[in-house]
Structure 1
Amino acid sequence: MAGIMLRSTAFTDHDLLPGRFAKDGGNVSPPLQWADVPDAAEELVLLVEDPDAGKEPFLHWLVTGIAPESGEVPEGGVPPGGQEWPNSFGETGWSGPLPPQGEDPHRYFFRLYALNRPLELPGAPRATDVHQALKGREIASGTTVGTYYR
């Protein structure tokens, strides 16, 4: 499967996320940039999840319907053409990291998927629902990881 280059100008891969992105900080989404999206992509999907939050990954941000030619999203913005979904906090859109105080740093996986046909999801999908729905549609992906602790 092809790879999408995904990065942020606010943090480097596997580095600490600045506090302004945390739920108890400014709670704004970080800027993201991407490249190498396949021409066959019908839509992009952005999934941000914390696999260290418990038995099931904690969904922080889900955006579907992103225009394949878009290339970036600014800090605090919504990707072009994107539809934001409810996250695990029960809020629509970005909700930043809020791991329990004193725990080891949690990892926040920012994943961008290129799909060959639009994603179909239930009304309030969990991260596992998204992963299941991606099967058979994903033609490329890219990942960058931020960490955070309190």
Structure 2
Amino acid sequence: MILQSPSFEEGGEIPSKYGYKNGNTSPPLIIKQIPQQTKSLVLIMDDPDAMGAVGRLWVHWIVWNIDPRKPEIKESSLPENAVEGITDFVEIGYGGPAPPDKRHTYVFKIYALNAELNLEKGSTKKQVEEAMQNHIIAQTSLSGTFAP
């Protein structure tokens, strides 16, 4: 699988409009080469660099039950029938980059599953990861950086 964004390249700068304090618009994402047996996709965006600033990985976006036949997430939108979880901003939906100290790397991870997840809107990353166990058939990621 391949995850790309028309807004930034792998390892590149995430445009400021996608930042939490700059409009908090979710970036467009395109998923390619999805395995044929995929029943649903999961997106998790987090900030591993937050460990140094807040002592833990910071969750920015969780989306599950993305239809693999419609593998494009348009800017500032949620795919039809997809469900969002709660972020570490204690909000449901996208929470853009907001590094408190220096430039951070943000990782968008896509998981192809052989099932849909039966979870309530607002579920946590931990609940989503537990539900995904034994259902992941492929995964990929896209990283971008953002500075305060």
Across the aligned residues of Structure 1 and Structure 2, the Cα RMSD in angstroms comes to 1.7
Paired residues, what number?
144
Q: Distance in 1 between matches of 2:38 and 2:57?
A: 26
Which amino acid letter does the alignment assign opposite residue 96 of structure 1?
Answer: G
Alignment correspondent of 2:42: 45
Unmatched 5+ residue regions in structure 2? Answer: none
Residues 20-58 of structure 1 deviation map (CA, whole Å, 9 limit, x = unaligned): 000110110000011111111111001101111124321
Question: Does 47-56 or 117-126 show the bigger shift?
Answer: 117-126
TM-fit CA distance, 1:133: 3.5
Unaligned stretches of 5+ residues in structure 1: none
Instruction: Note if 1:19 corresponds to 2:13.
Output: no
Instruction: After TM superposition, list the pairs within 5 Å mapping 1:40-119 onto structure 2.
Output: 40-54=37-51, 55-100=55-100, 103-119=101-117
Q: Percent identity?
A: 35
Using the alignment, how far apart are the partners of 1:26 and 1:94 within structure 2?
Answer: 11
Separation in 2, partners of 1:99, 1:74: 24
Output the TM-score relative to the length of structure 1: 0.88
| Residues in 1 aligned to 2:145 and 2:128: alpha-carbon distance in whole angstroms | 22
CA distance in 2, matches of 1:24, 1:124: 24
Please state how far the C-alpha of 1:144 moved relative to its aligned partner.
Answer: 0.4
CA distance, structure 1, for counterparts of residue 27 and residue 45 of structure 2: 11
Shift of 1:82: 0.8
**What is the TM-score with the length of structure 2 in the denominator?**
0.89
